[in-house]
Structure 1
Amino acid sequence: MELSQTSWVLAVIGALAVGMAKGGLSMVGMISVPLMSLTMSPVVAAGIMLPVYIVSDIGGLIAFRRSFNRAVLRSMLPGAVAGIGLGWATAHLVNDAAIMLIVGLIGLAFALNALIRPRMSGLRRPSLGAGSFWGAITGYTSFVSHSGAPPYQVYAQPMGMDSRVYAGTTTIFFAIVNGVKLIPYAALGQLNPGNLAISALLCIPGVIGVVLGVRLLRVIPQALFYRIITVLLLLISARLLYAGFTGMGG
Structure 2
Amino acid sequence: MITDPFFYLCAVPAVLLYGLAKGGFGGNISILSVPLMALVVSPQVAAAILLPILCAMDLMALRTFRGRWDAVNLRIIIPASLAGVVIGALTFRMLNDAHIQIIIGVIALVFTLNIWLRRGEPPKRGPGRLRGGFWGAVAGFTSFGIHAGGPPINVYLLPQKLEKTILMGTIAVFFAITNLAKVPAYIYLGQFNTANLLTALVLLPLAPIGVRLGFWLLQRSNEKLIYQLCYIFLFLTGGKLLYEGVTALV
Query: If the length of structure 1 is used for normalisation, what is the TM-score?
Result: 0.96
Partner residue, 2:241? 240
The residue identity in structure 1 corresponding to 2:7 is S
Q: 1:90 to 1:121 in 2, by over 3 A?
A: closer
Is the partner of 2:176 in helix, strand or coil? helix
Q: Separation in 2 of the partners of 1:81 and 1:119?
A: 36
List structure 1 runs of 4+ shifted beyond 6 angstroms: none
Partner residue, 1:187? 188
Q: 1:223 to 1:110 in 2, by over 3 A?
A: same
Q: 1:105 to 1:121 in 2, by over 3 A?
A: closer
The residue identity in structure 1 corresponding to 2:212 is V
Partner residue, 1:23? 23
Q: Which segments of 5 or more consecutive residues in structure 1 lack a partner in the other structure?
A: none
Partner residue, 1:12? 12
Is the partner of 2:205 in helix, strand or coil? helix
Q: Separation in 2 of the partners of 1:13 and 1:41?
A: 17
Q: Separation in 2 of the partners of 1:119 and 1:151?
A: 23
Q: Separation in 2 of the partners of 1:10 and 1:113?
A: 33
Query: Aligned-pair distance for 1:16?
Result: 0.4
Query: Aligned-pair distance for 1:100?
Result: 0.5
Judge conservation of contact 2:123–2:159 (CA < 8 Å) in 1: no
Partner residue, 1:176? 177
Count of residue pairs brought into register by the alignment: 249
The residue identity in structure 2 corresponding to 1:166 is L
Q: Separation in 1 of the partners of 2:50 and 2:131?
A: 29
Partner residue, 2:206? 205
What are the superposed Cα offsets for residues 15-69 of structure 1, whole Å, 9 maximum, x if unpaired? Answer: 1011111101231211111111122110011000001100111110010012111
Is the partner of 1:91 in helix, strand or coil? coil
| CA-based RMSD | 1.2
Partner residue, 1:84? 85
Q: Separation in 1 of the partners of 2:87 and 2:63?
A: 30
Partner residue, 1:105? 106
Query: If the length of structure 2 is used for normalisation, what is the TM-score?
Result: 0.96
Partner residue, 1:35? 36
Query: Aligned-pair distance for 1:115?
Result: 2.5
